[in-house]
Structure 1
Amino acid sequence: MRTLSYFVATSLDGFIADPKGGFGDFLFEGDHMTALIEEYPDTLPAQLREAMGIDTPNKTFDTILMGRATYQVPGGLPSPYPHLRQYVASTRLSTTPDDVEVITDPLTKVRELKEEQGLGIWLCGGGRLAATLLPEIDELVLKIHPIVLGKGIPLFAGDFPTTRFAKATTRIFDSGVLFTTYTKANP
């Protein structure tokens, strides 16, 4: 069975973006970026992969799920991850101008995807979608940045059940960023 991983950058106070959905305050330079590029090249948008000469097969993920605001982030790119199967959860969009499929029932779709063969499923954002999918999230991979935003889009937004996770690994980088992985704890 495939796993659903919420692989996301977050501030120390638990925000994945500023109130307008921007993420420019996160660190894009430093040794954590080398690890990200080497270990998770699948999570890089196509334009960045092309500019960096990355043309390797996917290592971790072959599918991405994102909320509408993540997909339509200001200055966003059409078909940002053509090397992955792309889904955007939305009740406002009915189609996209690219190869991103719109889904209205993300929980059912994730359960279907988990039954297929393949690599992992990447939950890219946002907070409301993460709260909806929390029962199906198998792993949290948090890239914790040494910033406090004070407000913005939370890691999880909305009503959701208390869910326990167990720490699996933590890596600390000189940049101050931590990569911390949690796996769903047994009830």
Structure 2
Amino acid sequence: MRELTYYVAVSTDGFIAGPAGEFDQFLFEGDHAAGIWQKYRGTAPTELANAAGLEYENGPFDTVLMGWNTYAVGLPELPNPYRHLRQIVFTRDHERPEGADDVEFTDRDPLEVVRELKAEDGGGIWLCGGGALAAQLADEIDRLALKLNPVLFGDGVRLFGDRSYDPAALRPLAITPYESGVVLAEYARA
């Protein structure tokens, strides 16, 4: 059975984006970049990976899931951001943008879609964001991989949106600190 991994950058105070959706304070360069890329190869948009000379084949994921706000970050320049992966965007209110021919848009229940994906053959499933979608899928997340950044946002998009209190136990797999201040914290469902 395929696993769903929520792999995302997060501020030290638990936000995946600031109040206006900004994420420019996250560290994209530094000693953490190469090590994290080796482990999570293929998690950059295809054009950006190509421009940086990063190999994205044979990564842990063959499918990426996004909410509309996460997907829309790249518009209009990147309407088909992860061409090397199967891309599914959850939205009820938006139409397919021009150039997004290889992106699946759905208004279906994310839980149903993820359960169907897990039952299929294939590689890992990457939940790229956002927080509201992560809150809906919290009980289906098998692994959590956080690029914990040494920055405080104070407000913004929470890691798990406005999820109601429903504790779920996780067990640590690896905690890898880097000189840049980024910490890769990886967990599995207990």
* TM score, norm. by length of structure 2: 0.92
Indicate yes or no: 2:157 matched with 1:153: yes
Indicate yes or no: 2:123 matched with 1:122: no
Task: Give the C-alpha shift of residue 77 in structure 1.
Answer: 1.6
Task: Give the C-alpha shift of residue 122 in structure 1.
Answer: 0.2
SS of the residue corresponding to residue 113 of structure 1 reads helix
Indicate the residue corresponding to 2:78 in structure 1: 77
1:77-116 CA distances to partner (integer Å, 9 max, x unpaired)? Answer: 2111010000011111243431111122111000000001
**C-alpha distance in 1 between matches for 2:42 and 2:20:** 26
Runs (4 or more) in structure 1 with deviation over 6 Å come to: none
1:143-180 CA distances to partner (integer Å, 9 max, x unpaired)? Answer: 00011111110001123432111111100101010001
Indicate the residue corresponding to 1:181 in structure 2: 186
SS of the residue corresponding to residue 41 of structure 1 reads coil
Task: Give the C-alpha shift of residue 55 in structure 1.
Answer: 4.3
Look up the equivalent residue of 2:54 and give its one-letter code: I
**C-alpha distance in 2 between matches for 1:11 and 1:144:** 6
The share of aligned pairs that are identical, in percent, is: 48
Unaligned runs of 5+ in 1: none
SS of the residue corresponding to residue 171 of structure 1 reads strand
Indicate the residue corresponding to 2:105 in structure 1: 102
- Aligned residue pairs: how many? 185
When structure 1 is superposed on structure 2, of 147-156 and 44-53 the one drifting more is 44-53
1:131-154 CA distances to partner (integer Å, 9 max, x unpaired)? Answer: 000010001000000111111100
CA contact (8 A) 2:74 2:81 kept: no
Task: Give the C-alpha shift of residue 38 in structure 1.
Answer: 2.4
Look up the equivalent residue of 2:6 and give its one-letter code: Y
Over the residues paired in the alignment, what is the CA RMSD in angstroms?
1.4
CA contact (8 A) 2:49 2:56 kept: no
Indicate the residue corresponding to 2:89 in structure 1: 88
Task: Give the C-alpha shift of residue 48 in structure 1.
Answer: 1.3
